[in-house]
Structure 1
Amino acid sequence: MHSDWAAAAERAVVTRHLRRLWGLPGTALARSGWPPTLDQRAHRHWNYWWQAHFLDCLVDAQHRDPTPARASTIDRFVSTMKLRNSGTWRNPYYDDLAWLGLALQRTGRDVTFFLDELRGAWTTEGGGGIWWRRGDRFKNAPANGPAAILHARAGDVERARDLLYWMERTLVDPGTGLVRDGLRVDSNDLVQEIYTYCQGVFLGACLELSEVDLARRTVRAVAAHCAPGGTLHGQGGGDGGLFAGILARYLALAAHRLPAGPEADAARSLVLASADSCWTGAADAAGGPLFSPDWSEPAPTAPPSPGHPSRDLSVQVGAWMLLESAATL
């Protein structure tokens, strides 16, 4: 059942969003909205990390149901991303680099460039950790979490632990176990907002480093505070459209990797309950289901009105990611 849902989500998102770049043969890139604006048709709206997660979901689908056609799409997508990014992988945001590095690593490509960029972002200011973006004075979970996962998967366990332990010391609320957003280094001010994204990347880093106690604590915190009624809560459109999907990805990994017990069961239940709500609330649209930005609420009638978050690629990829995660369970 969940594999069928994931396949339907893939067809829908690919049908509505994947197009040639500037009409060039042999290219493929995801439009950032549907129905697209003129700017989106021309791929002027460039959101590097949304595209990285689109690629990651293509890889998920290839693991679920490998086909030569999708393998070819993945190759075209990777080369087109680099073309659209002016022939380079460079980006001022270290979280964006980490996400694309993770997706590319899963395709078997060399990610030395990404690892070198992330190593260069480490400083001792604020107690350690890497910056959110080049030239900024903010260190946060959205950058340090995926960087820790990438370093761990690449075999640099020491740097991965440094990043995880910086988050543990600096960002985790000792009362709830939730991971706060980040630290403004110059003023030493903690940004207190709680995002599902931050819980997901911290959990992922814990799992890669076999920090079982920290992972269990994070699952308990998520179940208690981030999933009213058992469904992971949404955080709107734009970048927020990906947040719950990222958490679902690492909850599914926790269900596989944690020792049998209440936390592994809770992680599994959160993903499957969220998938059920997401699927049930979807609307019929061109190519397949259109998903809501909040899985506990129904999606709008398609096509969504101008400005509605369901138009955003991020929202649709976030739901696709959830359903691929559910399919692994």
Structure 2
Amino acid sequence: MNGITPKLSTALGAAALAISASLFFPDTVNAQTPGDIKAANELRVCLWEEGGIRSAPRAGELQLGIDRFQNEKIWSVNQVETGVYRITRNQPSGLTAEIRLPDENGNATCLVYGPAMSAGQAAGAADKFVEFGTLKGFPEGGGFVAAEPLQNMSRRYVAQGLPFSLELVAYEAPGFGQIVGMTFAGLDKVEDARQLTVGQAPASRETLRAYSAWALQTCAQNIADSDWLRSAFDNSGLEYGWPASNGHVYFLPDNSLSVKFNSYTCEIDTHYMGVAEARQLVRETLNRAYPGQFSDMQSSDGSGCQSFISHANPNMPIIVNVENLDNDARRTCVEDGSSRIYFEIPG
């Protein structure tokens, strides 16, 4: 498995599952029943957040689901121990979800169990979850693949193409009965999993420029609302990279461009567009999308860098800066082929 034992409580720790010597083959004898489908649908609890269902690269952001359920009257959320929550519907469904948030090692689980599932239905629920394609947004070539089950396990699927380990499992545990759910490992390392390319020609300079302009305009449109931005970027054609400590990061498929954002912050980075070209792109994009709202502003720090400022909202002026892409504290604006476009909200 992916390094952790799926568990519903400390009492289930003794149910650690060892690898079986037999290979997994789908069970073709037991017909699917509505109970299987009910449990498969309830697995969406593991993925829900405000605004919909998270995509595969963001499946491990389990806290967002807790935040949603605590704000909706149809759910009952109980914290049973530090980092462990049980979620049920106020209109009983016969199913309970238990979410164990990522620990210091990046391990987490989201499991569904309850009397609504009878013998064999956890396996059917796992099969249906994969068949329905509920978890979307895998990188090209990714998805769930049937894997060798562990001892006492009736189903096991391993996700491919993600920057962390994700498994979909079904098994039975004394006192809990049928259990189906997801186990995660390596969530503490996802921030390092995907990085910008350097020294490789981008697949398309036109695409890089077009997405730079789109990201700039989108961030300027609603810089204060990270949830709105996340929805826009999820449907943009950019690929989710990782949840950063200060927001979210998206990439072009060839990793030639990244966009990191959170509420009131947005940063567009590339090694394939110099500062002069980036300045011109920013000026043209802002003048086209927001005519008359932004004006040029020269840096006062001696760097020679240029910025653009808008006072359209007197309560929240917006500055768009352009500089080199580097890690130095001192801003630079020399022609080294790289650029960073980032937003600044003074005050």
Shorter-chain TM-score range: under 0.3
Which of structures 1 and 2 has the larger relative contact order (alpha carbons within 8 angstroms, sep 6+)?
A: 1
TM-score relative to the length of structure 2: 0.23
Give the number of the structure whose alpha-carbon radius of gyration is greater. 2
Higher helix share: 1
